[in-house]
Amino acid sequence: MIIGLVASGATALPLQWELNVIGNALRLDPTLPLGLWLGKIREGLNITYLKYPFIAYGTDWLAFGHFAIAVAFVGALKNPVRNAWLFTFGMIACAAIVPYAFLFGEIRRIPIFWRLIDCSFGVIGFFPCWICARDARELEQG
């Protein structure tokens, strides 16, 4: 969870640069849904950041949130029994990603395939938290 949160947070910082690199390197086909979507995001970021660079501050805070949550999980790494509540927190947060992505994805007109990618982070992240919660209960019982 810690590595995933830090990696996810780190990718939220250089969005414009990342999309420009990906777009140039992969020469995305705009006739395919992924190429069309990433091209649209790239164009939107380039135009927005040129005129309104402060908008990127929102993703800076998104990254900070990921880093802060990762730090909380260090406590669970150090003492999993005492901090077992973090695993429950993680499972709740991961489960909440699914309705959150579908609700706000619909409001923001995010394509369904991209919402499913967002949901996959919650689905995948749920299992390490569940395994850790189970193992912490076993440790506690001796």
Domain that holds residue 22: 1-65
Q: How many domains does the chain have?
A: 2
Map residue 2 onto helix, strand or coil.
Answer: helix
| pTM of the complete model beyond 0.75 | yes
Asked if residue 73 belongs to a domain, the reply is: no
Write the CA distances from 128 to 2, 18, 46, 87, 135, integer angstroms: 11, 28, 36, 9, 10
Residue 1: the pLDDT is 92
Asked if residue 70 belongs to a domain, the reply is: no
Measuring CA to CA, which residue among 111, 76, 113, 104 is closest to residue 91?
76
- Give the end of a domain, one of 65, 98, 113: 65
pLDDT in tens, the chain (142 residues): 999 999 999 999 999 999 888 888 877 777 888 888 888 999 999 999 999 999 999 999 999 999 999 999 999 999 999 999 999 999 999 999 999 999 999 999 999 999 999 999 999 999 999 999 999 999 999 8
Residue 131: the pLDDT is 97
Asked if residue 15 belongs to a domain, the reply is: yes
For residues 84 and 132, state if they share a domain: yes
- Give the end of a domain, one of 40, 65, 90: 65
Q: Tokens 């979507």 appear where?
A: 37
